Amino acid sequence: MSCSDQLIVGRARALTHTASHTALAGFGRCCTINAACAAYFHVVPKSYDRLAGSYKVLEQLAFGRLLHKVREQAVDELLDKLEPHQQVLILGEGDGRFLQSLTHKCKTPCHITCIDKSAQMLARAQAKVTPTADLHVNFVLADATRDIPLDTYDVIISLFFLDNFAATTLQTLIPKLANHLTHQGIWLLADFRQAKYGLAVWRSRMWLWLMYRFFRFVTDIEADQLVDPTRLFKEHGFLQLERQSFQHGFVVLETWQKEHTQPLKR
Ligand SMILES: C[S@@+](CC[C@H](N)C(=O)[O-])C[C@H]1O[C@@H](n2cnc3c(N)ncnc32)[C@H](O)[C@@H]1O
């Protein structure tokens, strides 16, 4: 820890300490919590590390079991397509709930590479998984827009990951990742979408507005609005095999297959 970090931590501790000792009972407790939060947010830079511990609870408060259901469907979709000894790449795994379910259900020997930019998220994912002789899991702390460990994968999985990026990044990221996918490889994705009909339009508009404000305040996400990557997938040689929609199209789970290779435009 550098001197300036120690100073910040020291100031943070002092804040918490002062708050807890000077305030009256209930009010004091409230101040302590506020001071601790302020201190924590002061010390930990904007990133998903800040959310790792509370991510599951926040998600459940906002959406109940919706995203859990989508992840479980994604696991079943993957197991339906997975062939023995294939290479699977999981982008932005988060706290490991998809991986945990996959490793419980999977009876097919395969090799999984799991990339996340957040050390805290990756540590949580790692703690949830017990690799077996048939199931190799490689955890990589990396920025998926820059470093992809292997050249080719048979399956790419991105759950609530692409919605972190602005249109300009997606325009290079999707073809770049497509180049890491084997011919007829599968890309399984789940993401939020703007609902198209009825009251759901207003509901999704409100949630998306709130979510982007929240995530941009707490983490370092680049996007400030949702970009639908469908056109990019089609332009880069993907064919949509399946599509499931949840809550009137507010969340989608899509299976794309790489049909032909497009030269990467730089
Ligand atoms: C919204 S969370 C989704 C987590 C999980 N896939 C799920 O289903 O809940 C996005 C995850 O992507 C990771 N992430 C964001 N940008 C990334 C990047 N450029 N490279 C690697 N991981 C990234 C974050 O650290 C976070 O864990």
Which pLDDT tens digit goes with each residue over 174-203?
A: 999 999 999 999 999 999 999 988 889 999
Q: Whose CA is nearest to atom 8 of ligand 1?
A: 159
In the predicted model, is pLDDT for residue 158 greater than 60? yes
CA nearest 260: which of 233, 231, 228?
233
Give, in words, the CATH class of 60-258.
Answer: alpha beta
C-beta of 144 in contact with ligand 1 (< 6 A): yes
Query: Could you give the CA distance from residue 203 to residue 207 in angstroms, rounded to a whole number?
Result: 6
In the predicted model, is pLDDT for residue 167 greater than 90? yes
DSSP 142-206: S-TTT--SSS-EEEEEEES-GGGS-HHHHHHHHHHHHTTEEEEEEEEEEEE----STHHHHHHHH
pLDDT of residue 8: 36
Which of 118, 143, 188, 191 has most ligand 1 atoms within 8 Å of its beta carbon, as the pocket-test mutant?
Answer: 118
Q: Whose CA is nearest to atom 15 of ligand 1?
A: 92
- Using pLDDT thresholds of 50, 70 and 90, give the confidence band for residue 36: low
- Using pLDDT thresholds of 50, 70 and 90, give the confidence band for residue 134: confident
C-beta of 145 in contact with ligand 1 (< 6 A): yes
The more confidently predicted of residues 227 and 38 is: 227
Residue 50 Cα to ligand 1 midpoint, Å, equals 13
CA nearest 73: which of 200, 229, 252?
252
From the alpha carbon of 145, which atom of ligand 1 is closest? 19
pLDDT of residue 132: 81
C-beta of 98 in contact with ligand 1 (< 6 A): yes
Phi, psi (degrees; rounded to nearest 5) at 51:
-100, -10
Q: Running DSSP on this structure, what letter comes out for residue 49?
A: G
Phi, psi (degrees; rounded to nearest 5) at 260:
-150, 160
Question: What would the two tokens of residue 181 be?
Answer: 């996918």
Residues in the chain: 266
Q: Whose CA is nearest to atom 14 of ligand 1?
A: 92
Q: Whose CA is nearest to atom 13 of ligand 1?
A: 92
Query: Could you give the CA distance from residue 202 to residue 187 in angstroms, rounded to a whole number?
Result: 30
Residue 123 Cα to ligand 1 midpoint, Å, equals 13
From the alpha carbon of 115, which atom of ligand 1 is closest? 21
The lowest-confidence range among 143-152, 211-220, 255-264 is 255-264
Question: What average pLDDT does the segment 241-264 reach?
Answer: 87
